[in-house]
Structure 1
Amino acid sequence: MRAEPLDPARTDAYLRRIGADRPAVPDAGALHDLHLRHLRTVPFENLSVHLAEDVALEYKPLVDKVVGAWRGGFCYELNGAFAALLRALGYRVELLAARVFGPEGPGIPYDHLALRVHTADGEGGPWLADIGFGRNSQYPLRLDSREQQPDPAGLFRIEETADGDLDVLRDGVPQYRLEQRPRALADFVAGCWYHRTSPDSPFTRSLVCSRLTETGRVTLSGRTLVITDADGGRDERELSEAEVLPAYRTHFGITLGRIPELRG
């Protein structure tokens, strides 16, 4: 079932959340701007997993979390909410399932959610938009190109597989394998449940909150705060218990009632 578009007031609230103006035309330039602004303002985080919070894969609660609660999320949440915004702005958006590459190859079905985005005039597309993969391309990638695609985050390339899927590579290393069949948000419920509950999931074994900045990246992993800059500089330090909640507020705009603790 297609998602109901956001009403104008909620769309405007979402745009304020990411510091963006409403684009006059849903074109490629506006998509690139929205993509980058989202990465710089809405963190990739799995705090709900370690705060015992529910993750409802429905468009309204996903948008409410990002816009109303001033939180982030992982791929299902971030790309789900972003899809709702893009549709409200006039883009045609399809949800695509992917499997993330690990040491032993691609992961589980519905391991990851990414977006195929078509602009109103078909300008230079379709595009792969993905603001839910942590350290990934800062701008959308051309899904119809098999050439190298330079990006501030690295050199990306999309390869076709023998089965008709697409492998997304960063600096020559496969990141995930993307199916081309459009999916519904409900199709990802089992994958989301696995990543929230399985002891084999990277999201139950780590505690992370990370956001792109204009000069690098800021990441709070457990109580380790890491700030990097464009020149390769790195500032890393362990926070005291009293510093953790203020760090979430200062660096990510997230106000929490208690410190998330890694599930043991």
Structure 2
Amino acid sequence: MNAAQAAAYLDRIGAAPPASPTVAALRELHLRHLRTVPFENLSVHLGEEIVLTEERLLDKVVGARRGGFCYELNGAFGALLTALGFGVALLAARVYGEEGRLGIPYDHLALRVRTGDGGDWLADVGFGALSHFPLAFREREEQVEPGGTFRIVPADPDAAGVRGAGAGAGAEGVDLDVVRDGRRQYRLESRPRALGDFVSGAWWHSTSPASHFMRSLVCSRLTEDGGRITLGGRTLTTTGPDGTREVEELGSDEEVLAVYRDRFGIAPGCVPTVRNPLGSG
């Protein structure tokens, strides 16, 4: 990413160029990204190809002012952080689903970020709803922040039928579980990966009838007051910072397109519809 591309990205999220790659700068960038770049899977249902290269991600997130899902959002954000002088490693994770079962390999992409003033941080702007700020990667006690109470703990060797990594949490190759409010969210590998390693995961999530991204539409972002706004098909849900929810069913196509435009900054050419609503082939 060159200087002009980095400047355009910062403008996209409404951030000033940080003077240095500090923890404070990372927190600011993380929060602004969550507020301005929506988590969305519209490409899956609009027939748009998902290409995991830096240039294509920048074209989508910055040039087209779109959002994306984890591979796109964290892939693009990681490229920005690298350009700004942070040390960035792409990490693979498997998401806990129904009955505590783990998803496919390369199910999720998260970031391990090293700041210039010391410390490693788990940054994730592509999980939908998670922490508002980066989490201290090596901290094993509770981390309380606006998104909930979090812990990063050694993976349970008996959980989900997948062998854990044993002692030495935080070392290369050791699996860790990210826990939010007492519930395991995903199992994280500590080994760094390349963006191209996630192509198979992105392909599965955008084509498999078993993928929840194929069975539903979502467009969601953090709001300025710490709540969340989510458009799922024609259902608009506004969640306050205290957890209260307001649900509105949108009627006309014009109403749906107006919400995409006015609340998410997205202008799809038509109202997206779910390609595979029943999860069948």
Coarse TM-score class (shorter-chain normalised):
over 0.9
- The offset of 1:120, in angstroms, is 1.7
The residue type equivalent to 2:120 in the other structure is: P
Could you tell me which residue of structure 2 aligns to residue 181 of structure 1? Answer: 191
Query: How many residues align structurally?
Result: 257
Aligned equivalents of 2:146, 2:67: Cα separation in 1: 22
Off by >4 Å, runs of 4+ in structure 1: none
Per-residue deviation at 1:246?
A: 1.0
* 1:159 equivalent in alignment to 2:153: yes
Deviation at 1:224, TM superposition (A): 0.3
Task: Determine the structure 2 residue equivalent to 1:113.
Answer: 109
In 2, Cα distance between the equivalents of 1:230 and 1:185? 34
Deviations 1:139-182 (A, max 9, x none): 00011010100010100001112412000000110000000100
The equivalent of 1:234 in structure 2 is: 245
Paired residue for 1:73? 68
Distance 1:155 1:121 in 2: 25
Q: What corresponds to 2:271 in structure 1?
A: 259
2:30 maps to which of 35, 55, 66: 35
Gaps of at least 5 residues in structure 2 are 156-163, 166-173, 277-281
* Aligned pairs for 1:84-233 within 5 A: 84-104=79-99, 105-122=101-118, 125-161=119-155, 162-163=164-165, 164-215=174-225, 216-233=227-244
SS of equivalent to 2:122: strand
Aligned CA distance change for structure 1 residues 68 and 139 (closer, same or farther; 3 Å)? same
1:19 aligned to 2:31? Answer: no
Relative to the length of structure 1, the TM-score reads 0.95
TM-superposed deviation, 1:242: 2.3
- Asked if residue 244 in structure 1 is aligned to residue 256 in structure 2, the reply is yes
Work out the CA distance in 2 between the residues paired with 1:41 and 1:103.
30
Q: CA deviation at 1:87?
A: 0.4
Shift in Å, 1:192: 0.4
Task: Give the 3-state SS of the residue equivalent to 2:192 in structure 1.
Answer: coil
Relative to the length of structure 2, the TM-score reads 0.90
- Structure 2 residue matching 1:250: 3-state secondary structure: helix
Deviation at 1:236, TM superposition (A): 1.1
What is the percent sequence identity of the aligned residues?
63
CA–CA distance in 1 between the matches of 2:262 and 2:245? 18
Aligned residue for 1:19, secondary structure, equals coil
